[in-house]
Amino acid sequence: MYRARVVSTILLLLFCCSFVNAQRPGPEFWRKVSCEPLEPRTMLEALEDKYTTIVLKGFTRITTVEVKGIRIDALEMHELGSNARVKGVVIVLRDTGGRFEDNRAFIDYDELDPLLNVIDTLTHLDETSTKLAGFEGRYRTKGDFEIQVFRQTRSGNAVILQTGICEFATTSLSLDELAKVKALLQEAKARLDEIK
């Protein structure tokens, strides 16, 4: 009788375990989540990511002034055999946080004027912009170029520029250096206007 109970208990456990194993999911064929977005967010990214076609890229490095850790290029791209051209700017930041890696952000031509206006607005932020003790103004383009202006000390504001989604490149600037970045962007826009 004891043996019959043991055997029936074991059979019952095996029977229940077979149902539990049947409920486990099989291999998953989902796309792995990565740091890159599924869809390109700028026209420049869309053209850069094209397959089975020749993409022609023309660029001019803007060197009228120099800002440490920042490179700005005026950029024009098109598919070979197509008259449609995409213009914009690529901003390359060298991370100043101890890692010596570059990261870039594409900015389409139609985003340049709003970005230049935002830089003007951010440079005029101060403690009167809010009723609280500290402040921070932040702007991000479609291509993940971010500008943050915040109160650093009583003596002035500081600026952080950042590119990237998961792997960030970050550099810190003063408001004077941000004005130089704006001058570089204006020069890049002027170069792009010349190639209508």
For the record, the structure tokens of 1 come out as 């009788």
Predicted local distance difference test score (pLDDT) of residue 30: 44
Residue 160 lies in a domain: yes
* Sheet with strand 136-140: strands edge to edge: 136-140, 145-153, 156-163, 169-173
- The separation between CA 12 and the C-alpha centre of its own chain, rounded to angstroms, equals 56
Say whether pLDDT at 4 is over 80: no
Q: Per mean pLDDT, which range of 136-140, 143-147, 164-168, 169-173 is the poorest?
A: 164-168
List phi, psi (to 5°) of 75: -140, 135
Residue 21 lies in a domain: no
Residue 92 lies in a domain: yes
Query: How many residues belong to the chain?
Result: 196
> Do 78 and 144 form a contact (C-beta atoms < 8 A)?
no
Structural domain containing residue 95? 43-194
pTM of the model: 0.75
Residue 30 lies in a domain: no
pLDDT level of residue 48 (50, 70, 90 thresholds): confident
Residue type, 182: K
pLDDT level of residue 31 (50, 70, 90 thresholds): very low
- The separation between CA 20 and the C-alpha centre of its own chain, rounded to angstroms, equals 44
Residue 24 lies in a domain: no
Residue with more model confidence, 48 or 14: 48
* 85 vs 57: CA distance, rounded Å: 10
Say whether pLDDT at 72 is over 90: yes
Mean pLDDT calculated for residue range 40-68: 88
Residue 2 lies in a domain: no
Domain holding 95: CATH number?
3.30.2450
Predicted local distance difference test score (pLDDT) of residue 98: 56
Residue type, 6: V
Mean pLDDT calculated for residue range 63-80: 90
Comparing CA positions, the residue from 149, 176, 143 lying closest to residue 161 is 149
Residues 6+ apart with CB under 8 A from 34: none
Say how many domains are in the chain.
1
Residue 139 lies in a domain: yes
Residue 35 lies in a domain: no
List phi, psi (to 5°) of 95: -65, 130
pLDDT tens digit sequence for 81-133: 888 889 999 999 876 665 556 788 999 999 999 999 999 998 888 777 778 77
**Mean pLDDT taken over the chain:** 81
